[in-house]
Amino acid sequence: MAIWAFAFAFMLRNRVLDIPPQMFLFCSHTLRPERAVMPQNVDKLKPASPEDIAESLAFALRSAGASAFMMPPSPRTLQRRLSEKNKALLSAMDRIESLANRDDLTGLPNRRSITAWLGEQMAICGRTGIPLSVGLLDLDHFKRINGAYGHLMGDRALQLFAKEALGAIRETDRLGRYGGEEFLIVLVGTALDGASEPLERIRSRVGSADWTIIDHGFRLTLTIGATEYVPAESVESLMRRADMALYLGKETDRNRVVLDSAPLMRLAAQSKIATA
């Protein structure tokens, strides 16, 4: 039946088939027997109209299943469909990668992403001798914000902090959410003695920002512990020292920047001993 329908449609389309009434009645009876009419004076019937033929053929296609009569797509159509699907797949993969590497709340790189990038930069700096410093930022008394204003306002405070901090960093710096109310900033090409200025700029901007959305008179401060990368050390060792500097700042007066210069002092001492 499929072959007959294809041939029938082809001949109609190319005007090589002149349908006599008898033929049309036979087709109607075959394709739509419930609507077929077989009068006695068949020879006196007018030729079938194109509309009648099209209706009967369409009913046949629907009855047998349109998929059985569909012609295979052309190579160009297949190529276009494949290209569209590839674009959709790449877009979905980019979206998945973004979700895997970004913090949902702040939009900053998450801990996995920022520490992986830090490791890459440490490897580069180890080979080239370019200095690198990191700062661990912690929002002071953040638990009080959640307790006094609720977790929704706490989340809003994190978002506003991320916005203000991003506005204060340099293009070469990278900021990520390290966990909870802690954030990590990587200062590529910056030695420890030069890290104080950009870190103080972040602290000052956050402290002077407009926080009235949380509450009138509300002010957010942060403490920062910073250290410099020592060649051949691991990410864990570097972050441990930054965390110790942060802990020192929170135990003293908070709302300050603490620089851990002990490793550099030890390296300088070792260098003097070696050259003595």
Residues with catalytic function: 181
> What are the residues whose beta carbons fall under 8 Å from the beta carbon of 189, sequence distance 6 or more?
130, 131, 132, 172
Tokens of residue 105, six digits: 């709340």
Residue 1 vs residues 30, 75, 184: alpha-carbon distances, Å: 11, 27, 71
185, 202 in Cβ contact below 8 A?
A: yes
Which SS3 state, helix, strand or coil, does residue 14 take?
coil
Strands 257-260 and 222-228: parallel
Greatest Cα pair distance, the chain, in angstroms, is: 126
CA neighbor of 153 nearest in space, from 214, 194, 110: 214
Report residue 137: phi and psi, to 5°: -105, 135
Identify the CA nearest to 180 among candidates 157, 202, 163.
157
Q: In what order do the strands lie in the sheet with 222-228?
A: 173-179, 182-188, 132-139, 222-228, 257-260
Pairing of strands 222-228, 182-188: unpaired
Q: Are 195 and 228 in contact (CB under 8 A)?
A: yes
